[in-house]
């Protein structure tokens, strides 16, 4: 765990917390207050006799140290010699190992790129592996989703050579390299003390690594399921699915993948001719904005998914063959029917024209509801309506539509940029009996708050998420779990 605390007291508490959790501490000297980080004896006293790494990271490598280079390396070396713990030295300063007489069996030689993942990554790794140190570490920034595969390939290459390498793609797009690294040859990985206390971009909190992803228990036999999304930060699916994997004794892990190029991602993950990972991949959840695009990238479509024109679930079969399903349809209908009752003849408005909206509209059509698709772009609304045999309208038309039920199938209101916003004004809810917001983070969106103030039944997205997730889980694993079990997993995370 990276310890980025300023005072000796706070740093010592974090080091002790790490030990109690069964990990080791990376004490970031560059984060300590000026008087402490210039005193090698005081630094050594914090880690002596402990499982620890000393790091004094300069600004150009993502650290905080502006100490002159010769002084920085001298201080790090002296603190490491005094404490007899591991130290991390950058590749371009590796001559310090010989110059200061450091014990090479306790040295990590590293290279960081805080801006990108360079094309000459193999050459950089070769230079790292040539340094007489115990462990090599390469950490570059995943600008593109596919950058993470470059790091995975280097880890595999080092493993084939019998050389210990830590290979990390920094940033949100590289999360999988941190979680799966130790299962595939990395001697360790790096995490943070808590959210907001990261020592590098993309570090995951220690308790999340241990309790959600069980990173210390994963092996080469553990299969991978992934969430494909434009933004994974708000999703509760990793916490929920990983909990059910654990509860059912299933040796797998569910990982978040922030994907910018879906075809390239699927090629690198599963297609035999272009595959870049050694992992056993069982499937994916697919969410905004990829649900409709994914339809053209799978090899076969479930009939319901074909009719909807959007998928939220991919199952990986033999030879990387992809099958697409849509569990959103029944996932949305089950809680809606339970809350409202019979839907035939009910006037229902659906906000949005994306994959989630298509699933809801298809389910409503099957139940004989009188449905209208409303979107900011009337052309997109008509495309969905025409495909599924319903009416279309602009968002401004919601207020006068005489609706019984309003369903929000847009991401408006989700944690992040649109949190606190509503896709329609509160006045548009006049006469509406039930409002169903598919957004589940936060659980009480502005739209639901407005609905309650107008006397409507307010139904959030949590029941739908649990229902569709239960169906996904069975498709991937063959194990049947109930909606209640999925909802309980939500509550326990």
Q: What is the CATH number of the domain that holds 348?
A: 3.40.50.720
User: Quick one: 315 and 333 in the same domain?
Assistant: no
Q: Which residue, 220, 252, 276, sits at the end of a domain?
A: 220
* CA 216 and chain centroid, separation: 18
473 in a structural domain: no
Question: 124 and 194 share a domain?
Answer: yes
Residue 474 in any domain: the answer is no
Is there a single domain that holds both residue 242 and residue 128? no
Same domain? 115 vs 21 = yes
**Same domain, yes or no, for 164 and 254?**
no
Tell me the C-alpha distance between 299 and 444, whole Å: 38
342 shares a domain with 319: no
User: Do 194 and 295 belong to one domain?
Assistant: no
Q: At a CB cut-off of 8 Å and minimum separation 6, what does 200 contact?
A: 2, 62, 139, 168, 170, 190
H/E stretch holding 253 reads strand 252-258
Do both 250 and 149 map to the same domain? no
Which among 175, 205, 220 is the end of a domain? 220
- Is residue 391 assigned to a domain? yes
* Cβ-Cβ contacts under 8 Å for 51 (sequence gap 6 or more): 19, 23, 24, 25, 85
- Number of structural domains found in the chain: 3
b or e along 398-435 (b: 16 or more beta carbons within 10 Å of the residue's beta carbon)? bbebebbbbbbbbbbbbbeebeeebbbeeebbeebbbb
Q: Please indicate, yes or no, whether residues 44 and 148 belong to a single structural domain of this protein.
A: yes
Tell me whether strands 223-229 and 281-286 are parallel, antiparallel or unpaired.
Answer: parallel
pLDDT attached to residue 490: 79
* Regions of the chain where pLDDT drops below 70: 492-493
The residue whose two tokens read 């409503």 is 364
Cα-based distances in Å from 217 to 52, 151, 166, 182, 453: 21, 21, 17, 9, 48
435 close to 456: Cβ distance less than 8 angstroms: yes
Q: Are strands 300-301 and 135-141 parallel, antiparallel or unpaired?
A: unpaired
Give a yes or no: residue 467 inside a domain: no
Output the six-digit token pair for 117: 């993942």
What CATH number does residue 257 fall under? 3.40.50.10860
Q: What pLDDT is attached to residue 493?
A: 61
Are 256 and 211 within one domain?
Answer: no
Cα–Cα distances (Å) from 433 to 40, 170, 258, 348, 404, in that order, read 69, 47, 37, 10, 5
CA 338, 343, 348, 350: dihedral to nearest 10 degrees?
60
In this structure, the answer to whether residues 485 and 361 fall within a common structural domain is no
Are 321 and 272 a contacting pair, CB within 8 Å? no
- Residue 169 domain-assigned? yes
Q: Report yes or no: 435 and 451 within 8 Å, Cβ to Cβ.
A: yes
Q: Is residue 176 part of a domain?
A: yes
Q: List the catalytic residue out of 123, 173, 291, 479.
A: 291
Structural domain including 278 reads: 227-326+479-492
CA atoms within 13 Å, Cβ hemisphere of 226:
22
115 catalytic residue (yes or no): no
Note whether residue 468 is domain-resident: no
CATH code, domain carrying 68:
3.20.20.70
DSSP 8-state secondary structure symbol assigned to residue 196:
T
Closest of 31, 94, 90 to residue 61, by C-alpha? 90
- Rounded to whole angstroms, the Cα distance separating 28 from 96 reads 18
For 126-133, the CB contacts below 8 A with 24+ separation are: 127/91, 128/91, 128/165, 129/158, 129/161, 129/163, 129/165, 131/91, 131/94, 131/97, 132/97, 132/104, 133/89, 133/94, 133/97, 133/104, 133/107, 133/108, 133/109
Looking at residue 22, its pLDDT comes to 86
Q: How far apart are CA 287 and CA 377, in angstroms?
A: 21
Residue 472 lies in a domain: no
375 and 435 part of one domain: yes
Which pLDDT does position 194 carry in this prediction? 87
């Amino acid at each position: 765990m990276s310890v980025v605390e300023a005072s000796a007291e706070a740093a010592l508490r974090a080091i002790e917390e790490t030990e109690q959790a069964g990990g080791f501490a990376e004490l970031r000297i560059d984060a300590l207050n000026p008087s402490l980080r210039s005193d090698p004896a005081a630094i050594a006293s914090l880690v002596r006799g402990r499982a620890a790494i000393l790091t004094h990271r300069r600004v150009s490598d993502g650290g905080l140290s502006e100490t002159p280079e010769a002084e920085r390396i001298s201080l790090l070396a002296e603190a490491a010699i005094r404490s007899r713990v591991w130290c991390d030295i950058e590749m371009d300063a590796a001559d310090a190992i010989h110059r200061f007489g450091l014990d090479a069996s306790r040295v990590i030689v590293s290279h960081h790129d805080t801006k990108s993942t360079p094309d000459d990554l193999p050459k950089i790794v070769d230079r790292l592996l040539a340094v007489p140190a115990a462990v090599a570490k390469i950490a570059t920034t995943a600008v593109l989703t596919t950058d993470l595969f470059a790091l995975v390939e280097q880890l595999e290459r080092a493993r084939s050579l019998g050389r210990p390498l830590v290979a990390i793609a920094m940033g949100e797009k590289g999360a999988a390299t941190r979680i799966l690294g130790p299962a595939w040859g990395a001697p360790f990985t790096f995490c943070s003390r808590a959210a907001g206390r990261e020592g590098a971009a993309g570090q995951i909190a220690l308790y999340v690594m241990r309790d959600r992803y069980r990173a210390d228990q994963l092996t080469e036999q553990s299969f991978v399921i992934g969430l494909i999304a434009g933004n994974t930060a708000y999703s509760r699916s990793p916490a929920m699915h990983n909990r059910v994997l654990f509860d059912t004794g299933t040796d797998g892990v569910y990982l978040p993948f922030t994907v910018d190029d879906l075809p390239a991602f699927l090629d690198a993950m599963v297609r035999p001719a272009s595959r870049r990972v050694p992992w056993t991949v069982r499937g994916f959840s697919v969410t905004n904005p990829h649900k409709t695009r994914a339809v053209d990238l799978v090899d076969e479509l479930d009939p319901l998914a074909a009719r909807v024109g959007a998928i939220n679930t991919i199952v990986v079969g033999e030879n990387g063959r992809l099958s697409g399903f849509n569990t959103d349809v029944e996932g949305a209908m089950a809680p809606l029917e339970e809350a409202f009752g019979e839907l035939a003849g009910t006037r229902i408005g659906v906000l949005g024209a994306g994959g989630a909206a298509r699933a809801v509209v298809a389910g409503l059509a099957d139940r004989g509801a009188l449905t209208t698709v409303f979107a900011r772009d009337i052309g997109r609304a008509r495309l969905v309506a025409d495909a599924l045999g319903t009416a279309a309208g602009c968002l401004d038309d919601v207020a006068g539509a005489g609706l019984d039920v309003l369903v929000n199938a847009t991401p408006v209101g989700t944690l992040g940029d649109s949190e606190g916003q509503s896709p329609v004004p509160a006045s548009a809810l006049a006469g509406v009996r039930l409002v169903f917001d598919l957004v589940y983070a936060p659980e009480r969106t502005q739209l639901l708050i407005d609905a309650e103030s107008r006397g409507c039944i307010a139904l959030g997205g949590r029941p739908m998420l649990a229902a569709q997730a239960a169906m996904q889980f069975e498709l991937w694993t063959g194990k049947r779990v109930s909606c209640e079990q999925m909802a309980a997993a939500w509550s326990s995370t």
